Amino acid sequence: MRISLTRPLVLYPVSIVLGLGVWEALAQVMPRALFAPPSAVLGRLAAMTGDGSLPTALLGSVQHMLVGYLLAALLAIPVGIIVGRSTAIATAVEPILNAVYAIPPVALVPFFMIWFGLYFEGRVALVFAMCFFEILINVLQGVRNIDRGLLDAARSLDLTGLALYRKVVIPAASPFIFTGLRVGIGRAVNAMITAELFFSAVYLGQMLKTSSNAFDIASTFAVIFVVSLFGLACQEAMRLAERVVIPWHHESTA
Amino acid sequence: MSRGKAWALRLAGIAVFVLGWEIAGRIFGDALFAPFSAVIAGFPATVRDYHLFAELAGSLRQLLLGYLLGCIVGIVLGIMMGRSALLDGLLQPWVSMMFVTSIASLVPLFIITFGFGLMFRVTIVFMAAVWYVLLVTYHGARSVSPDLLQTARAFESSRLQTFFKVMLPALYPYILVGMRIGLAHAIRAMVIAEMYVIVGFGGVVYNAGVEISTVSLLGALLTIMLVGVALNEALKWFAHRTAPWYSERQQLSN
C-alpha A25 chain-centroid distance: 33
Percent of chain A with pLDDT strictly greater than 90: 74
Query: Measured between alpha carbons, how far is A89 from A248 in angstroms, rounded to an integer?
Result: 30
Neighbours of B250 (CB within 10 A): 15
Contacts of B81 in chain A (CB under 8 A): none
First to last CA, chain B: 23
Residues 6+ apart with CB under 8 A from B247: B173, B239, B240
Q: Which of A9, A11, A138 to mutate to test the interface with B (most CBs of B within 10 A)?
A: A11
Q: Which residue of A has its CA nearest to B197?
A: A198
CATH of the domain at A64: 1.10.3720.10
Give the ipTM: 0.91
* pLDDT of A250: 62
A245 or B68: which leads in pLDDT: B68
Of A10, A35, A208, the CB nearest to B105: A208
CA distance A183 to chain B (A): 11
Query: Measured between alpha carbons, how far is B127 from B63 in angstroms, rounded to an integer?
Result: 11
The number of residues in chain B equals 254
Residues A114-147 have pLDDT tens digits of 999 999 999 999 999 999 999 999 999 999 988 8
pLDDT of A244 above 70: yes
A27: in domain? no
* pLDDT of B62: 95
pLDDT of A9 above 60: yes
Cβ distance B85 to A141 less than 8 Å, yes or no, reads: no
Cβ–Cβ < 8 Å for A173, A138? no
* Residue A228: domain span: 58-253
Residues 6+ apart with CB under 8 A from B164: none
Residues B104-147 have pLDDT tens digits of 999 999 999 899 999 999 999 999 999 999 999 999 999 888 88
pLDDT of B247 above 80: no
Q: Does A179 touch chain B (CB under 8 A)?
A: no
Residues A45-85 have pLDDT tens digits of 999 999 999 999 999 999 999 999 999 999 999 999 999 98
Contacts of B221 in chain A (CB under 8 A): 103, 107-108, 111
Superfamily of domain B34-253: MetI-like (1.10.3720.10)
Q: What are the b/e assignments for B25-63, b being 16+ CB within 10 Å?
A: beeeebeebbbbebbeebbeebbeebebeebbebbbebb
DSSP state of B250: G
* pLDDT of A246: 87
First to last CA, chain A: 27
CA distance A146 to chain B (A): 15
Query: Measured between alpha carbons, how far is A109 from B194 in angstroms, rounded to an integer?
Result: 13
C-alpha A10 chain-centroid distance: 29
Total domains in chain A come to: 1
Contacts of A96 in chain B (CB under 8 A): 13-14, 17
Query: Measured between alpha carbons, how far is A23 from A18 in angstroms, rounded to an integer?
Result: 9
* pLDDT of B145: 82
A35: in domain? no
A220: in domain? yes
Q: Which of residues 176-215 of B touch A (CB under 8 A)?
A: 184, 187-188, 190-192, 195-196, 202, 205-206, 208-210, 214
* pLDDT of A5: 66
Cβ distance A91 to B13 less than 8 Å, yes or no, reads: yes
HEC per residue, B154-196: HCCCCHHHHHHHHHHHHHHHHHHHHHHHHHHHHHHHHHHHHHH
Phi/psi at A117 (5° precision):
85, -175
CA distances to A47, B27, B80 from A108, rounded to whole Å, are: 36, 20, 39
Residues B7-16 have pLDDT tens digits of 999 999 999 9
A32: in domain? no
Q: Number of Cβ pairs closer than 8 Å across A and B?
A: 171
What integer is the mean pLDDT of B44-64? 96
Contacts of B31 in chain A (CB under 8 A): 114
Phi/psi at B35 (5° precision):
-65, 155
For chain B, domain boundaries = 1-30, 34-253
A15: in domain? no
- Answer positive or negative: Cα dihedral of B243, B244, B249, B254: positive
pLDDT of B250 above 50: no
